[in-house]
Structure formats: C-alpha cells, structure tokens
C-alpha cells in the first residue's frame, strides 16, 4: 500500500511540476502560440514596440525562475518573430494611415505618442482574453501586477486622458468592468475637454466610422483597412 501511495504522490508531484513549468516558466513566443486554454491567464512582459495607438508588441518574460540558471537572459534588441501582438481591450483609438494616399485620423499622432510614452520599453501585465479577427490577442493591460496598490488599467487611463474612444462594436471585451464603466470614463474626459475632446465644437469621428467611410470611398474592404499593418513585428516602419 505504501509503495502504491508513494508512486501516486510521485506521479502527482511530477504532473504538478510539469503544469507549473508550462504555466510560469515557459515563454510564449508569439500570438500563434496562444490557445483558448490560455484565455483569462495573466502574463507579464516588456513592450518592444507600439505599432498603432491601441496595439503593441509584447516580449513575454515568464515569472519566477525563468532567468535561472541563465542569469544573462534578457529581452533581445531585435525581437522579430519573438513577440505577442496585443490589442488593448475596450477601446478604439484614432487610426493610422495604412495605405499610400490615406490620411491618418485626426489626433492619431498624439494618441500614439501618449501610448508610446506610457508603455514602450516597460514591463506590463496582461490578462489574455481572446483573439480578434486579425489574430491579435485582446488583453486587459495593467501598468503593474494587479494586486499592487496604484496599478492602472491602460485602456481606462487612455480613455481618462482623452486619447481613445470606447470600443462599441459587437464583441467588445471589457473584463470585469462593464461597457458602461468605460463610457462613464469617456464622458468624464469629454466634460474636462481632455485629448481629442479639447474642442467641444469639433465633431469627433469614431475610428470604426472612419474605417467604414474610407472603405466606402476607396472600394477597399473595411477588414483590409483595419488589418493592414503599419509596423513589423520588430517595431520598424514598413
């Protein structure tokens, strides 16, 4: 009996060790490696590039033990093909120009600058939610581990500063909050005339409307307008 019990405990320990290693010590190289079983999982990593004003590239750095025993492990200078494409949940920011002759949406540069200054080169914490139609991982992104005092939801911060709209299309992802919570923050930014709302007389076009308008005017499918990348996986302009 003791032999059987010992064998069972040993097998359980091995299985538990394999689970912990896969969950906390194995690096996720790209968004293609993210499976539905990983949804709702928290990961952390370094932001290597901000490709648009509501998405970025994350070099996943697993938790405790990842750098052991190789203390020289670090985020490479050229992370091409080694990063996860992350789409900020709950918001839609001014659109970049994806094609020659297409004008970027007004306030795109300011929105991009805000997000770049906020997260590029820094460690962020992401709750992976789901993949969008372009293969990007929609995630709730925080400036620090969620249990630390003062941690901030980047999407909500961007709304609060007036540099994004609430994502209002079907399939929106808002995490534990509700869409109404995001809309309330947006209304506060409007009332305080922050960011894109600084001129109350200026009508602001939602990014989804901008994409529909441009698609109708050019004959380019709306999905192509949204999907066309403006940066490579390494963060360099194409």
Catalytic residue among 46, 57, 95, 160: 95
DSSP letter, residue 237: B
Enumerate the β-bridge partners of residue 47: 58
CA atoms within 13 A on the CB side of 39: 12
Token pair for 221: 């499918």
Gap between the Cα atoms of 64 and 67, Å rounded: 8
How does strand 165-166 pair with strand 123-131?
unpaired
Which candidate in 136, 209, 212, 213 is catalytic? 136
Task: Give the tokens for residue 193.
Answer: 């005339």
Find all residues with CB under 8 Å of 9, minimum gap 6, and list them: none
Q: How far apart are CA 125 and CA 116, in angstroms?
A: 16
How many whole angstroms separate alpha carbon 229 and alpha carbon 69?
38
> Is 87 considered catalytic here?
yes
Catalytic residue among 46, 57, 87, 160: 87
User: In the block, which residue shows the tokens 């590039």?
Assistant: 49
Concerning whether 136 is annotated as a catalytic residue, the answer is yes
Q: Catalytic residues, which ones?
A: 87, 95, 136
């Amino acid at each position: 009996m003791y032999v059987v019990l010992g064998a069972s405990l040993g097998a359980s320990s091995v299985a538990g060790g394999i689970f912990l290693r896969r969950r906390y010590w194995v690096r996720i190289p790209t968004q293609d490696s993210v499976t539905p079983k990983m949804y709702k999982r928290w990961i952390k990593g370094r932001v290597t590039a901000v490709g648009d004003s509501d998405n970025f590239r994350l070099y996943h750095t697993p938790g405790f033990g990842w750098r052991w025993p190789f203390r020289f492990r670090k985020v490479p200078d050229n992370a091409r093909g080694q990063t996860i494409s992350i789409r900020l949940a709950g918001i839609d920011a001014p659109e970049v120009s994806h094609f020659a002759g297409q004008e970027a949406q007004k306030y795109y540069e300011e929105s991009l600058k805000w997000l770049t200054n906020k997260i590029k080169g820094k460690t962020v914490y992401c709750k992976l939610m789901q993949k969008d139609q372009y293969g990007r991982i929609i995630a709730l992104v925080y400036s620090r581990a969620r249990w630390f005092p003062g941690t901030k939801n980047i999407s909500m911060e961007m709304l609060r500063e007036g540099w994004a709209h609430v994502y209002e299309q079907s399939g929106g992802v808002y995490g534990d909050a509700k869409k109404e919570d995001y809309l309330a923050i947006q209304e506060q930014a409007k009332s305080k005339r922050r960011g894109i709302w600084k001129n109350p007389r200026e009508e602001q076009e939602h990014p989804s409307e901008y994409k529909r308008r441009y698609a109708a005017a050019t004959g380019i499918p709306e999905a192509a307008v949204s999907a066309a990348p403006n940066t490579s996986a390494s963060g360099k302009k194409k």
